[in-house]
Structure formats: structure tokens, C-alpha cells
């Protein structure tokens, strides 16, 4: 997909760009595979805001995404390529040989009529899904399982892909988009190729209203607040924050601090951490 730059008819559209959706083949979703998700607008079970700057947004239905290995050894055909308002990547509507329809993540280069299959060992072509142990090293993969038969959990956002670096003693070393190298069981499934909509990160939002349509509310700089509202607040005019390091409104480190738990059980599977 390409980026479409809009005509500068107004101040908001002067630098705005959007993804060119001309390659998509269907505008309306498959109704039986969608549902309504209740929104919380950043509130927790007590009704208090626990995640700031959330609320509003355009109405949308959630597309239930499945995985090709739901039906092992059954061929499927791509019926349509569609937009998904809940994710940055595009999605495919696929039809299995038995007539069942499902949504899956679209890979870069997916097109209507493509034939794909999930099997323990399959042909190494874009869209096919197979066990990591049977995918040759150096290939791009996405939608990777962490635990067997759990469904894809890793590398699912637009334009991302991981690479198999090595295989040893039942484990595969995989380089993630972040640069982290992690071990994953060789019996886990992954899809061949790169996630669709590779130009997603090149878009320019252009105006505040577009963020509101996404469900993002405005944020205020800490240094523009009063001292009793934020550690960065106070001072005359345009001052620096006056601290050794930036802080959150609650006094914690805001930048450059690792947030992952030190003793997390899955740390044993990380061969090389991502760069700080």
C-alpha cells in the first residue's frame, strides 16, 4: 500500500497524509465475524481513570481474528482484503474448503484468490503457516505463537516482521522487530512473510480532530501546570523542568527506565535484550 498525500485545502489538511486503500477489495465487514466491544474510556472497575487521555472516538465493530492453524491441513482461499478499525494492519477474509469463513491478519502482498494452508510442514510461500522448526532460517515471519496451540501473540502490527536466526535443542532463536532475540519452542506456529500496510508509520496525522476520531483525548504538558498538579509545574515563563530527570505526575521516572519485572519467568527465554 502507498501513502496518499491530501490537497492542502485547509490548514488541517496541509500536511496530512493517509493510507491509500484502493488495494482493498471489500468495504463492509462479514457481519457474523464481528461484535461490539464495550468501551471503558480508560476507567477501571471503580470508575476512576486509570489510563489517561482515552475517550470518544468513532463507532466501530470488532473483527474476530482467527489463526490459519485452526484447521490444520485444510486449504483456504482469500475472499477479500479489508480494513480493520481496531488494528494498524489489514485483514483477510478467508474461506476454507469446507465453506467456513474466518478473518486472519493480511501479509504484505496478499491478494484476492491467493491459496494458503496451515500445516506442520508446508510450502514456504507468503501467507502459509507452519511450525517454526520447518521454516528455513533467515525467512521473515509474523503472527508468532509463544505457547503451543495458543494462537499468534507476537509481531502483529503493520509492517512488522521477525527473523529466525538459529535452531537448537527444540528451540528457535528469533530476532524481534525491537532487536530483542528470544527463544521460542520449535513446535509453535508462525506465518510466512511481513505484516501488511508497511507504510502505516509514514502517515502524518495532520490535525487534532483525527486523533479524537481514534479515541485519544488531549494531553497537557506537565511544565504548563501548577506545582501542585505536576512535578514539572511552576516557574515563570518558559523554564526547564528543573529536575535531574523527567517525572510522571506521581513522581516516578518517566524516561529511560526499564519497566519489565526483573524476575519475570519468561526472562530466561531472552537471549539478547533490545537496545535501551
Residue 174 lies in a domain: yes
Indicate whether 1 belongs to any domain.
no
CA 113 to CA 70: how far, in whole Å?
A: 20
Could you give the residue ranges of the DSSP H alpha helices within 45-162? none
φ, ψ of residue 189 in degrees (nearest 5): -95, 155
Determine, yes or no, domain membership for 117. Answer: yes
CB 89 within 8 A of CB 157: yes
How far is it, in rounded angstroms, from Cα 121 to Cα 128?
10
Ramachandran category for residue 170: left, alpha or beta (phi over 0 → left; psi -120 to 50 → alpha)? left
Distance CA 161, CA 194 (A): 5
Residue 51 CA to residue 3 CA, distance in Å, equals: 31
* CA angle centred on 33, ends 56 and 216, rounded to 5°: 15
Q: Is the confidence at residue 211, as pLDDT, over 90?
A: yes
Under DSSP, is residue 227 helix (H, G, I), strand (E, B) or coil?
Answer: coil
Is residue 187 one of the residues assigned to a domain?
A: yes
- In this predicted structure, the answer to whether residue 28 has a pLDDT above a threshold of 90 is no
- Asked if pLDDT for residue 33 goes beyond 80, the answer is yes
- CATH code where residue 114 lies: 2.40.50.140
pLDDT given at position 1? 63
pLDDT of residue 22: 86
In a domain? residue 15: no
The most distant pair of C-alpha atoms in the chain lies apart, rounded to whole Å, by 71
Q: Please indicate, yes or no, if residue 66 is contained in any of the structural domains.
A: yes
Q: Kindly state the average pLDDT of the residues 245-256.
A: 92
Contact yes or no for 142/65 (Cβ under 8 A):
no
Cell of 140: 521473515
pLDDT at 27 over 90: no
Q: Which residues pair with 18 in a beta bridge?
A: 4
* Sequence-ordered list of residues with C-beta below 8 angstroms from that of 169, at least 6 positions apart, any chain: none
Q: What is the pLDDT of residues 48-105, one digit of tens each?
A: 999 999 999 999 999 999 988 888 989 999 999 999 999 999 999 999 998 899 999 9
Q: Which residue has the cell 509545574?
A: 233
Reduced to 3 states (helix: H, G, I; strand: E, B; else coil), residue 96 is strand
Q: How many structural domains does the chain have? A: 1
Helices (H), 56-163: none
Residue 17, CB half-sphere, CA atoms under 13 Å: how many? 13
> Do 195 and 109 form a contact (C-beta atoms < 8 A)?
no
Within-domain flag for 84: yes
Task: Kindly tell me if the per-residue pLDDT of 196 is higher than 80.
Answer: yes
Question: What is the rounded distance in angstroms from the CA atom of residue 83 to the CA atom of residue 34?
Answer: 13
Buried b (16+ CB within 10 A) or exposed e, 215-238: bbeeeeebbeeeeeebbbbeeeee
Report the candidate in 111, 107, 113 with the shortest Cα–Cα distance to residue 126.
107
pLDDT tops 90 at residue 259: no
In the predicted structure, residue 236 carries a pLDDT above the cut 70: yes
Residue 39 belongs to some domain of the structure: yes
pLDDT at 142 over 70: yes
Domain extent at residue 163: 20-201+265-272
C-alpha cell at 274: 533490545
| Best CA proximity match to 113, nearest among 89, 72, 90, 80 | 80
Amino acid at each position: 500500500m502507498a501513502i496518499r498525500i491530501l490537497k492542502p485545502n485547509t490548514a488541517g489538511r496541509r500536511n496530512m497524509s493517509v493510507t491509500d486503500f484502493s488495494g482493498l477489495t471489500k468495504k463492509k465487514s462479514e457481519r457474523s465475524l464481528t461484535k461490539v466491544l464495550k468501551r471503558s474510556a480508560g476507567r477501571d472497575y471503580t470508575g476512576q481513570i486509570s489510563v489517561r487521555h482515552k475517550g470518544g472516538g468513532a463507532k466501530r465493530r470488532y473483527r474476530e481474528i482467527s489463526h490459519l492453524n485452526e484447521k490444520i491441513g485444510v486449504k483456504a482461499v482469500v475472499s477479500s482484503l479489508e480494513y480493520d478499525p481496531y488494528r494498524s494492519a489489514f485483514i483477510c477474509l478467508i474461506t476454507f474448503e469446507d465453506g467456513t469463513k474466518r478473518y486472519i491478519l493480511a501479509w504484505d502482498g496478499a491478494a484476492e484468490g491467493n491459496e494458503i494452508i496451515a500445516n506442520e510442514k508446508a510450502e514456504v510461500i507468503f501467507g502459509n503457516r507452519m511450525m517454526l522448526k520447518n521454516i528455513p532460517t533467515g525467512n521473515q515471519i509474523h503472527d508468532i505463537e509463544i505457547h503451543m496451540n495458543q494462537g499468534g501473540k507476537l509481531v502483529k502490527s503493520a509492517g512488522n516482521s521477525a527473523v529466525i536466526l538459529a535452531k537448537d535443542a527444540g528451540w528457535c532463536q528469533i530476532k524481534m522487530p525491537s532487536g530483542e532475540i528470544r527463544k521460542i519452542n520449535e513446535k509453535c506456529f508462525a506465518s510466512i512473510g511481513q505484516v501488511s500496510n508497511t507504510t502505516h508509520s509514514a502517515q502524518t496525522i495532520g490535525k487534532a480532530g483525527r486523533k479524537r476520531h481514534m479515541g485519544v483525548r488531549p494531553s497537557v504538558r506537565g511544565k504548563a501546570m501548577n506545582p501542585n498538579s505536576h512535578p514539572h509545574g511552576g516557574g515563570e515563563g518558559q523554564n526547564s523542568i528543573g529536575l535531574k530527570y523527567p517525572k510522571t505526575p506521581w513522581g516516578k521516572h518517566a524516561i529511560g527506565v526499564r519497566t519489565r519485572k526483573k524476575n519475570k519467568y519468561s526472562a530466561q527465554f531472552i537471549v539478547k535484550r533490545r537496545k535501551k
